[in-house]
Chains A and B, each alone.
Chain A
Amino acid sequence: MKSKSRNFYLIPYVIWIALFVVMPILLVLYYSFFDIDGQFTLDNYKKFFTPVYLKMTFSSFWYAFLITLFTLLVAYPIAYLLTKTKHKQLLLLLIILPSWINLLLKAYAFIGIFGTYGAANSFLEVIGIGTKQILFTDFSFIFVSVYIFLPFMILPIFNALDELNPSLVDASNDLGASKWTTFLRVIFPLTIDGVKSGCQIVFIPALSLFMLTRLIAGNRVITLGTAIEQHFLVTQDWGMGATIAVFLIIAMVLIMILTGKRKRGIL
């Protein structure tokens, strides 16, 4: 009797899964075996293993790694300090608030700030360094990416730190550990799950950024995402785009396995 109603909820949901989760992935895989003229071929995969594409993949990973690293380095202290403040929930809300503002607008703001006569250059002028080319450099690309991903890194780390039992820190202090040792041996290992999910949330989108590479990096940086967009919407070579997408999906799965939480083991 009960199973009937259970099936009822499953119907729309499974249809959604089949149509928009399973089908698209299979279609990407299917398209990766066709060239631009619609002929079945393995050339796309051969092409992917040529230096041009391998170099692009490598640089895409390198940038994503740098973005994740800097985001983590900036975010961890923020999350840590936030848990120590009086109105931590309110401050956390204020940190997350900018992430609700359209991504495009933030990127656009930086076009103005980093522009030749923008605020950043005026600042450099005042402190005596002089005007520099900031927009369309690696620096601007990584800075803006870190800016955009920051809230997504802070949130899981904050939650992990907030759950941390403060008596563990007190115990460590009482037993004579220095602040640094306490952090390294107690706080950080206990919040590693938050760090991992933060890195996962940042790294995967960082691999596939394409809007920022165009607006902020001025096409200097080609990520996997940029390449996919280029193939699908500019050169119309869907086969090659799909092939890159297949590798991006593989990378994504590997990252998820690598940063997967094993909470049940710990608790």
Chain B
Amino acid sequence: MKKLSKLSTVYLVIMFFILYAPILYLMFYSFNSGGTMYHFEGFTLDWYKELFGDSRLLIIVLNTAIIALLSAAISTILGVAGALAIYYARRRRVKNTLLSLNNVLIVSPDVIIGASFLILFTMVGIKLGFISVLLAHIAFSVPIVVIMVLPKIEEMNTSMIYAALDLGASRWDVLTKVVLPYITPGIFAGFFMALTYSLDDFAVTFFVTGNGFTTLSVEIYSLARRGVSLNINALSTLLFIFTMLLVVGYYFITKRNNKPGRMGVR
């Protein structure tokens, strides 16, 4: 039972191949001097040179990064407050209502979020652009942070809070010296998820971005609609490497954070 049968192994290998093939395919042709995605003529780094020479694209990359970092930071703060609010809610009904409302944006399709935010921003009078995209990203990242932080708070021993209070800690001390250090891994996880959600988002941004402001996803979409251009391949290779670094970094951060946490519990 422990060893997989040959057929199962073959199935898994094929699935892994299919999962990674498109990404490797993209990366492979980013070095093609032929300019197409089907006939490999020769090795070249021209597409990368072109990429780094394209100041418009670099600005878009910068925009995307700023939006991702800002929205992740702000939504982490809001999300931690939200998780604490849910945790401290005494009545079961309030708790459940808050949780359901929290999950609305997680399960809502991107199109609905995008369309409804477009209506919202137009009615309130926020000009479509940087601010509207930032607000939208913060809005849809908050519930994810809450979901990542809440289990961490709930596994915390309440007597720690009471002990701190008994020993004369103020509310603020309890938050900054007891609760926050304990839930730090959850906060990191939430921040990271918010970051990836923001970097990945296309649909919501597409709705609320207006004319002047573009993020990477929207830019790739408009380029891809025009057809294949190996700039995108070069860009995706870089993005792939960046994503991998982010994931590996996240993996080590959580690993390092988990160890003392676990020991503290036991």
Contact = CB atoms under 8 A, between A and B. Distances in A.
Chain A complexes with chain B: yes
Interface of B is mostly: helix
B81 A9 contact: yes
A78 B26 contact: no
Interface stretch (A49-57, A155-163, A202-210): A202-210
Interface in A72-101: 74, 77-78, 81-82, 84-85, 91, 93-95, 97-98, 100-101
B18 A122 contact: no
B120 A23 contact: yes
A194 to B, nearest CB: 17
A81 B85 CA distance: 40
Interface of A is mostly: helix
Nearest to A248: B112
Given A77-B11, A119-B25, A210-B203, A112 B120 contact: no
B111 A245 contact: yes
B50 interface: no
A150 B16 CA distance: 11
Contacts of A211: 202-203, 206, 221
A81 B13 CA distance: 11
Nearest to B104: A21
A85 B86 CA distance: 38
Contact of A103 (B107, B200, B243): B200
A217 to B, nearest CB: 13
B46 to A, nearest CB: 18
Given A6-B85, A78-B15, A117 B220 contact: no
Residues of B in contact with A, size category: 35 or more
A258 interface: no
B239 interface: yes
B36 interface: yes
A144 B2 CA distance: 33
A147 B78 contact: no
B116 A24 contact: yes
B62 interface: no
A209 to B, nearest CB: 8
Contacts of B61: none
Residues of A in contact with B, size category: 35 or more
A249 B236 contact: no
Nearest to B9: A81
A81 B236 CA distance: 31
B225 A214 contact: yes
Interface string A104-129: 11111111110101110010000000
B224 A111 contact: yes
Nearest to A151: B19
A113 B243 CA distance: 22
Quick one: which of A25, A81, A104, A207 has the most chain B CB within 10 A? A104
B85 A104 contact: no
A81 B37 contact: no
Interface of B: 1-2, 4, 8, 11-12, 15-16, 18-23, 25-26, 29, 36-39, 78, 81-82, 84-86, 88-90, 98, 101-102, 104-105, 107-120, 123, 139-140, 142, 171, 196, 199-200, 202-203, 206-207, 216-217, 220-221, 224-225, 227-228, 232, 236, 239-240, 243-244, 246-247, 251
26 contacts: A6-B90, A20-B117, A21-B105, A25-B104, A77-B8, A78-B11, A82-B12, A84-B2, A98-B20, A100-B196, A101-B236, A101-B240, A105-B23, A105-B236, A105-B239, A106-B23, A108-B224, A109-B22, A110-B22, A111-B37, A119-B38, A122-B38, A207-B109, A208-B109, A229-B115, A232-B207
Given A20-B117, A24-B119, A91-B12, 5 more contacts: A28-B115, A28-B119, A81-B4, A100-B243, A117-B36
